Each structure stands twice: as structure tokens, then as C-alpha cells.
Structure 1
Amino acid sequence: MTTDYQQSRVSLGGRLRELRGPDSGRAFAARLGWPQSKVSKLETGRQTATAEDLRAWAEAAGHPEAAAELEARLQGLESRTRSWRRQLRAGHRPVQDALTVEYERSTRLRAWEGAMVVGILQTADYARAVFTQYAELQQSVRDVDDAVRARQRRQELLYQPGRLFDIVMWEAALHTAVCPPDVLAAQLDRLSGIIGLDTVRLGIVPLSARVRIPPANGFWMYDDRLVIAEDWHAELWLDDDDSVALYGRVWGLLRENAVYGSSAQRLIARARARADAV
């Protein structure tokens, strides 16, 4: 969790405490029908309120007019940290559509991924396996097929001139068994076919490479204006200059150890042979 995000959450909690007034936390929680611990966590910035929580709080505090202000604070907080719990209430498809907008706005897209094949290069079957697993983890709406179709349509951007996808992946991503072996084999064939495409520069960091920075969470950079980094609980949407510059340096350090062209093909072929042997 970012320091700025936590400070904003604490600030929102302070405003909630102010609105509660002289009532005890126990009495206020009883009025809302909540556990007292929830009131305490919201006021101390240890839990993020939902929009529904904020409207209920304003009503219970006798200040319904404050609901709009509280929701504006929440929207400002979530402009940087977008929890999966909130984003996936309507399923994965809306999330994919929102991302497509950022892809379409960009001309140079840089990516790092160490855990699996990046979404823009996934086959339909591979993507289906990934979405299914995340839907189970997040207990979200099961709109897997809609999400797969949205991701596949986005891949049309790979063939439009004037846009460069500069992607770096760790070799481990080629071996991660997030799907059956035959699906992984087809996915690796897809990667082999991408190499040489004029709109895609695909680099693979070998497992044996002496890296200058530990490989960590995956992220995308959209030109020099936006970074979207994923964590288990949320996506971070970072557009301040310092954060974008930091991720640019991280991406550059990881790229230094990547191999391209025929060398990348050999790593993919090695992973393909392993998938066939399973």
C-alpha cells in the first residue's frame, strides 16, 4: 500500500470521526448495525470504506449532505488504488474494457511480467484459464467468456501501425502451469509467432541472468503518463511524475538482461519441449 494512499485513507477516517460527533463508537456502530470494529477501522484508516458505507455513515451521523463530499474523497483515493473487490463487482469484462481505452490512447506501451504470459499476447484458452482462476480467488462475477472476448479484441491493436508494444518477461513466465500442458504449448507457439512482428518487441530475461533488481510484480507503462501495477488486492494507477519515472527505471534495469530474436526463440522452444514432456 502506498504512503500517499494510506495518508488519504487516514484523512478520510478523520473526517468520519468528526462527523460522528459525541456519540461513542459502540453506540454509532449499533445505529448502523455494524460491528464496533468496523467503525474503529474506518476511522483509523485501517479499512477502506465503500460508497455505500459512506452514505450510511452520513445518514447515521445526521449529515446526509456530507455524503457527496465523502464519496468524492473516496474517488480521489481510488484513482490511485483500485481494489479488485470493487472493480470486479460487475465482473472482469468492464475491467478489460477500461484497460483497452488506455491501450488505444498510447503509442509506446512497456510491460514487465514475471509470473505468466502478458494479457495482450495470450491465446483465448490461456486467458480463459487465467480469468477462471482469478474469478475463483476474488469470488467475483463469472463472466469469463465475455472477458476473454474483450481481451482477444484488444489484440487487434498489435497489428495497427504507429504503436509499439515493448514487452519484457521473465523466463519463468514461460513455464508457469496456469493451464493444461496442451494449452501452454499452444500459447508458447503464439509467442514464437509474435517475434519479428514490427509492432512488438518481445524480450525474455533468462532464469540464469544476473539481474540488477529482483523481479517483482507485473506492470504496464502507457507512454510516460501512466503506470498500472497489479497486486493481489488492487491495481495501482500511478500518474505522478516521480512514480512513472521510478517504474521507467525498473523496466530499464529488467530489460538490460533480456534476450531477443533467435535467443528468445530458443528459450521459448525449451519451455515448449518441457510442456510437451508433461
Structure 2
Amino acid sequence: MSASPSSSVQAARRVLADRLRELCEDAGLDGKSLAAACGWHPSKVSRIATAKTSPSADDIRAWCRACGAEDQTADLIAALRAVEGMWVHWHRMERAGLRRAQEAVLPLYDRTLWFRAYSPGLVPGLLQTYRYTEDVLRGVQRRRVPVDDVAEAVAVRMERQYVLYEGHRRFAFLLEEPVLRNALGSAETQREQLDHLLMVSSLPHVSIGVVPTQLGRPRMPVEGFWIFDTAQVNVELVSGYLTLTQPGEIKAYADTFLMLADTAVYAARARALIRAAMSSIG
């Protein structure tokens, strides 16, 4: 597994490495003995045991066999898969097309009751109209996905918006003001999208805040992110999709969301900014 920018991924890799090292110690083996039993160079054992290299599933099978702990193999491979799932490159997630990537997150949306999202560049997916979504996903497909299943992917994204209209869930969206004027697609598409934002903002369990563009505003570079309950954060980066589950990192994003929320405007003031953006469309 390639290294990711997330300390969550590194922490999970260290936990897996510690479990493998403990198996070796419990079996009374040192690194050289384990390497000999597996037919490896001793440096490979050292790299895996110190989390410098992520093992493969076959490596885990060989390690457990050498330690006489084959009953641990399935659990350790499951842990490996969990670590690998924290950081997924786009080419891996989207190699079969965009529809499957959209379907993969449906269970997460089904079980989440409290959604928080910050977007510096685009309207968040749950708030997008059909044509706006089509423009977004068409742009993604042209950049990096050889399979053209945009229509099917749009349908899946539209389907998952049902959660927005279930009153037992809560939603808090923060949009940077330029999102309202990003000129994505046609003028008609943008007007329709902004009108949809006005409609959704009237739902009692939905909060839409707009962070105004203003001089002297204290800010730091923040990527767009989603917080699902208090269980995980997802971040879409240029190279891949990051899932954070470490409590400390979830708290860091929750704190950042609160900081940004304090700078946003809501209700009538937010709707005024949306209407001003609509009026500016040629």
C-alpha cells in the first residue's frame, strides 16, 4: 500500500505491525528465524514489523504459518483490508466506472444521522440538481475514467438524496461564497442549482451556511470534507479518497467545521447571497 498523507493510515499500519510482531515474540522467534521460515530476507521482516512496508495477504499467511498462529490469519488479513480501505486512489475506486464508486457510499449515507459538509469549490452532492451533477461527473469522467457510465452514476447520486428529506436526520452544509458563482455548466444549470439551494434551505432539519468572501478574513487552506456522525471523515484529494476514523483527526475536522461555521451567514443573509449570485448570471 502506498503511503498516504493521513496519520490515521499510518497509525492503523502500526497497529497491524505490532500485532504481527507480537505473534513472532509469542512463538519465540526472532527476525532472522522468522525470515528463514518464510524464505525472506531478514530486512523484509524488519520493514513489516516497523510498519515501513505494508504486508500483502500472502505475507500475512506466511507469517502466521511460521509462528504457528494460522488461526489468526483471517483476522489479520481483514485488518489489512481495513487499512488499505482508508486511502484509495481514484484509479482504483473508479476503474470500473463512476456508478460503482457512487454505489459504494450508499450504506454510509443510510446509517448516518448527522451530516456535516464543508465545500470550497462545488455544491455538495446531496444538494446538487440532476444537471449540475451531470456536469460534475462528466468532468471527472473526461479527466480520469475511461468508462462512460455518467448517466448511471448521476442516477445513483440522485437516488441517495432521499436521506435529505427524512426528518430524523440533521444536515449542516458550509459553502464558500465563490461556490455560488463558479459558472459550472450553462447559465440555466447554475440558476436552477441556486434556486434548488433556496428550496432546500427552507427544510427545518437542514442548515446551509455561506462563508462570505471578504478582506481581512482569517483563514487557512482547508480541503472540502464530510463528517458522518462522529464516526468518520471523508476527504476528496487530487490523488484519492481519504477515510479518517481516528478520534483525534475526526475532532480536528469537527473543530475546523465549527471555526468555519462561525464565519458563515445563514437564513435570510445566506439566501440574499444566493439570490445575488442568481442575479449576476448573464
Same fold (TM over 0.5): yes
Deviation, 1:126, is: 0.5
Cα distance change of structure 1 residues 8 and 100 upon mapping to structure 2, 3 Å threshold: closer
Over the aligned positions, Cα root-mean-square deviation in angstroms equals 3.4
Of the two, which has the highest radius of gyration?
2
Specify the alignment match of 2:227 in structure 1: 221
Contact 2:8–2:245 (CA under 8 A) maintained in structure 1: no
Deviation at 1:81, TM superposition (A): 1.0
Equivalent of 1:198, from 201, 204, 213?
204
Partner of 2:128: 122
Write the distance in 1 (CA, Å) between the matches of 2:79 and 2:168: 38
Q: Give the alignment partner of residue 170 of structure 2, picking from 164, 171, 190.
A: 164
Q: CA, structure 1 residues 56+196, in 2 after alignment: closer, same or farther (shift >3 Å)? A: same
Report percent identity of matched pairs.
29
Whether the 8 Å CA contact 2:8–2:249 is kept in 1: the answer is: no
Structure 1 pair 195/55, CA: closer, same or farther in 2 (3 Å)? closer
Residue 274 (structure 2) pairs with residue 268 (structure 1): yes
Q: 1:78 aligns with which of 84, 90, 108?
A: 84
Distance 1:74 1:143, change over 3 A: farther
Query: What TM-score results when the alignment is normalised by the length of structure 2?
Result: 0.75
Distance apart, 1:178 and its partner CA: 2.6
TM-score, normalised via structure 1 length? 0.76
Match of 1:34 in 2: none
Question: Which residue in 2 is equivalent to 1:106?
Answer: 112
Q: Give the SS at the match of 1:90.
A: coil
CA deviations on 1:161-207 (whole Å, 9 max, x unpaired) are 11011111100111112312221111111111112211211000011
Deviates more, 1:212-221 or 1:103-112: 212-221
Q: Using the TM superposition, give the Cα deviation of residue 212 of structure 1 relative to its aligned residue in structure 2, in angstroms.
A: 4.0
Distance change in 2, residues 1:210/1:166 (3 Å): farther
Aligned residue pair count: 249
Partners of 1:76 and 1:102 in 2: CA distance: 15
Q: Is the 2:95–2:145 contact (alpha carbons within 8 Å) kept by the matching residues of 1?
A: no
Query: Which amino acid in the other structure matches residue 246 of structure 1?
Result: A
Aligned to 1:235: 241
